[in-house]
Amino acid sequence: MVFDLTEEQRMIQDTAREFARKEVLPKAAELDENSRFPEELIRQMAELGFMGIAVPEEYGGAGMDNVCYAIAMEEISRACASTGVIMSVNNSLACDPVLKFGSEEIKREYLVPMASGKTLGCFGLTEPGAGSDAGSQKTTAVRDGDFYVINGTKNFITNAPQADTCVLFTMTDKSKSHKGITAFVVDMKWKGISLGKHEKKMGIKASATSSIVFEEVRVPAKNRLGNEGDGFKVAMNTLDGGRIGIAAQAIGIARASFEDALSYSKDRKQFGQAICEFQAIQWMLADIATEIDAARLLTWRAAWMKDRKMRHSKESSMAKLYASETAMRAAVKGVQIHGGYGYINEYPAERHFRDAKITEIYEGTSEIQRLVIAAALLKG
């Protein structure tokens, strides 16, 4: 693996960093305080090609690689984690499975507008009684001629209130557990689809999350991704890539905590000197900086492997596990360095703390990541 970024990767890093600094960061506190969906930022990111970075140009994307995607995700999330996860879901969880498993007709109809940012996607896997255990989901799809009739409820769906398209997972054969799962591409405007509870969250508050209810929804068979029973494979393959996006988001949050704490430590004076002069503060800063670099290298490795179509389940889980826990540790130390000011919303340290926690939970908890890593190690 070459550690030097290519010209294209440096270009997207510069573009994303400048956009994040000028457009996203000034709005981050207001978006969080008002739980406001950043519609104008999503439009601007679409214009920059950020809503389908690794999707080929022929399908509406930017035609770049997954390292570019990780780089851009980090920069956007450093400014606003909510905006970052909206971008991540559209790229990783909506565009990617349609690109890999959709027919040419489905790609033209759904992928092109999502990758170009004209529409927004979401990912319907989690249910009220099925989180880490995807095989226990209860949403059903029953074949009826050229259609499937779908009934059920999905829970904690990022982007759902604004989404135009849903990559949906259902049970077509309950007797087969996870081998009976089938995936579909669903238009959120279809009859029988409604939104449930709009969640009030601890963090990433500008990213809308709600349940989706499906009542006798007729989905054309041509909207199926892969064959009947392929849904679990589609979901796991998608999450392998999605974890790269969340790892990059976590690195962005960790960077925000670190950079804000470093700046504050140079300005804040106690006992006649800046607090950055104290060894206790220096060691915290050193630990955070080291962990951020390590997390970034893990994430870029997973993205690099994905670009080369190498199996990367273990590496993606390692990146997501380490980056998310780094984000949480960085956020805790960021608040500590700010002292009492870190606990009030006058400073962004408390927002970073709230935003960091979810990265250890969604797209596979830290415990699930450890199971994936251990399974790969034991398999040899």
Cβ atoms within 10 Å, residue 227: 12
pLDDT at 3 over 80: no
* pLDDT band for position 92 (cuts 50, 70, 90): very high
Distance, CA of 39 to CA of 379 (rounded, Å): 45
Handedness of CA 42, 45, 50, 52 (dihedral sign): positive
* pLDDT band for position 274 (cuts 50, 70, 90): very high
pLDDT at 135 over 90: no
The pLDDT tens digits of the residues spanning 185-224 come to: 999 999 999 999 899 999 999 999 999 999 999 999 999 9
Q: What is the DSSP string of 90-104?
A: IIIIIIHHHHHHS-H
pLDDT at 2 over 70: no
* pLDDT band for position 177 (cuts 50, 70, 90): confident
Q: What is the DSSP string of 196-264?
A: EEE---SS-TTS-EEEEEEEEEEEEGGGEESSTT-HHHHHHHHHHHHHHHHHHHHHHHHHHHHHHHHHH
Q: Which residue has the tokens 């991540």?
A: 88
Indicate the CATH number for domain 121-229: 2.40.110.10
**Domain residue ranges of the chain, discontinuous segments joined by +:** 7-115, 121-229, 232-379
Q: Under a CB-based contact definition with an 8 Å cutoff, are residues 253 and 323 in contact?
A: no
Helix/strand/coil percent split, the chain, to 5:
60, 15, 25
Residue 363 is a catalytic residue:
yes
Question: Which position among 39, 75, 363, 367 bears the catalytic label?
Answer: 363
The pLDDT tens digits of the residues spanning 331-361 come to: 999 999 999 999 999 999 999 999 999 999 9
60 phi and psi angles, rounded to 5 deg: 90, 0
Q: Under a CB-based contact definition with an 8 Å cutoff, are residues 82 and 130 in contact?
A: no
Q: Which residue has the tokens 């190690």?
A: 377
pLDDT at 1 (0 to 100): 58
- 3-class DSSP state of 180: helix
Cα angle for residues 175, 180, 181 (degrees, 5° grid): 140
In the DSSP assignment, the letter for residue 7 is H
Least confident range of 11-20, 126-135, 163-172: 126-135
Cβ atoms within 10 Å, residue 230: 17
Of 296, 301, 313, the C-alpha closest to 249 is: 296
155 phi and psi angles, rounded to 5 deg: -125, 150
Domain 232-379 adopts which CATH fold? Answer: Butyryl-CoA Dehydrogenase, subunit A; domain 3 (1.20.140)
**How many Cα neighbours within 13 Å face the side chain of 256?**
35
Within this chain, domains 7-115 and 121-229 share the same CATH topology = no
What value does the mean pLDDT take over residues 130-152? 92
The pLDDT tens digits of the residues spanning 106-134 come to: 999 999 999 999 999 999 999 998 888 88
Indicate the CATH number of 7-115 among 3.30.360.10, 1.10.540.10, 3.90.1150.10, 3.40.50.720.
Answer: 1.10.540.10
pLDDT at 132 (0 to 100): 83
